[in-house]
A = this chain, B = another copy of it.
Amino acid sequence: MIVVMRRDAKEQDIEHMVRQVESLGLKPTVLRGTERTVIAAIGDERAAAAIGVLESGAGVDEVLPVLAPYKLASLETKAEPTVVRAGSLTVGGGHLGVIAGPCSVESEEQIIATARAVKAAGATALRGGAYKPRTSPYSFQGLKEKGLQFLALARAETGLAVVTEVVAAEDIEIVAMYADVLQIGARNMQNYRLLEAVGRSHLPTLLKRGPSATIDELLLAAEYILDAGNQQVMLCERGIRTYEAHTRFTLPLATVPYLHLKTHLPVVVDPSHGTGHSPLVPAMARAAVAAGADGLIIEVHPNPEKALSDGYQSLTPEQFADTMAGCRKVADAMGIKM
C-alpha cells in the first residue's frame, strides 16, 4: 500500500504512520517528495482492514492499494483457464456453452417444449427458474420444487444439463437433487451465507454480477466460493445499472477481455437481462462471442406474450434459432467451438 500524507502533515504524523505500517506486519519506506511525503508499505496488504486503519491516521490524505484483493480467483495464482463441465455443458477452454430457456418454469409442457426447441437450435444447457426472487411481492414467485421436477423431466427428455437459481442456503439441498448447475442471481451476489454454502456444495456454479458490483467485488464473491473448496465457478456479466434508460441495464462487454486478463475463471454473458429488450439480444449475443465470452445465457419462451415473467426480453424459439445461427458464424470465424 502507498500512504499519501497531506502537505501539512507534521513530522510526528509521519513517524506515527511508520509505526502503524509496521504494526500491520508491513515494511515501511518513507519517500519525501517536493510537495508531499508518501510511505510505501510493502507486504501482503490483504490481511485485516489495513486500508481503513491507515486512512484514519492524522495527516493522511489517502491510501492507495497496490495488490488486488482476491487471490484464488487470480490469474497470478492459477495461469491456465478453468473449464467448467456439467453434463452436456462445457464452458471455457475454447468451448462456448449456451444456456437457454425461460425466465420461470411455468408448466411441464412449457419447459419441455422450450428444452426441445433450444436443443434443436444448438443450446447445450437448459435454464429455468423455480425459486424466483421478484422485486414485487405481488409478482409470480415460481413453482418451487414442482418447477425443479419439471426441469428434471426436461433433462430426461433432451439430455440438456439444468441450470437453475438458488436463493437461500437452506434450499441448496433440494435444488441440488434436480439441478446440474447452481445459479446465484445478481441480487444475491453478496449474500455471503449463500456463497459459503454453495462453496461447500462443490456443485458447478454460475455467479452473476450484481448490477452495481465492481469487478473486484465480483471476484471477491467468487473468492468466497473458491475459498470454501469449490473450483467450478463461472462468472456471468448480466449488465450494470447506469443512467441509461433505453435498456434495462447497460451491458459492458469489456468485462469479458478484462476478466480474461485477471482471472482463470470462465466468463458467461447474459444479453437478455443485459439489454432487457428482445430485439437487442441477437446483436449483443454475437458481440459477446466476438469479445471472447466462454458462454451465453439467453431467455427463450415458447410464447413471450404469455410469459409470467420477463416476456419482453425473451426470444421465441425461432428468434433464438436465428440468434444461434449468427453466433455460430462469429464463433467459427474466431475458431471457437460451439
Contact present for A310 and B243 (CB under 8 Å):
no
- A42 neighbours in B (Cβ, 8 Å): 31-34
Contact B283 A257 (CB under 8 A): yes
Cross-interface CB contact of A212 among B46, B212, B257, B332, cutoff 8 Å: B212
**Are B243 and A212 in contact, CB atoms less than 8 angstroms apart?**
yes
Closest Cβ of chain B to A277, distance in Å, is 8
Q: How far is the CA of A274 from the CA of B42 in the complex (A)?
A: 31
Count A interface residues, CB 8 Å. Answer: 110
Q: Known contacts A38-B66, A252-B250, A279-B261; is A56 also within 8 Å of B307 by CB?
A: yes
- Copies of this chain present in the complex amount to 4
Kindly list chain B residues whose C-beta atoms are within 8 Å of the C-beta of A212. Answer: 210-212, 240-241, 243
Most chain B CB atoms below 10 A, which of A64, A135, A261, A274: A135
Please pick, from B34, B243, B309, the residue contacting A243 in the complex, using a CB distance under 8 A.
B243
Contacts of A242 in B (CB 8 A): 240, 242-243, 250, 252
CB distance from A240 to the nearest CB of B (A): 6
In the bound complex, residues from chain B placing their C-beta under 8 Å from that of A36 are: 66-67
Residues in chain B near residue A69, CB distance under 8 A? 135-136, 138
6 contacts across the A-B interface (CB closer than 8 A): A29-B31, A40-B40, A136-B223, A137-B220, A167-B192, A253-B253
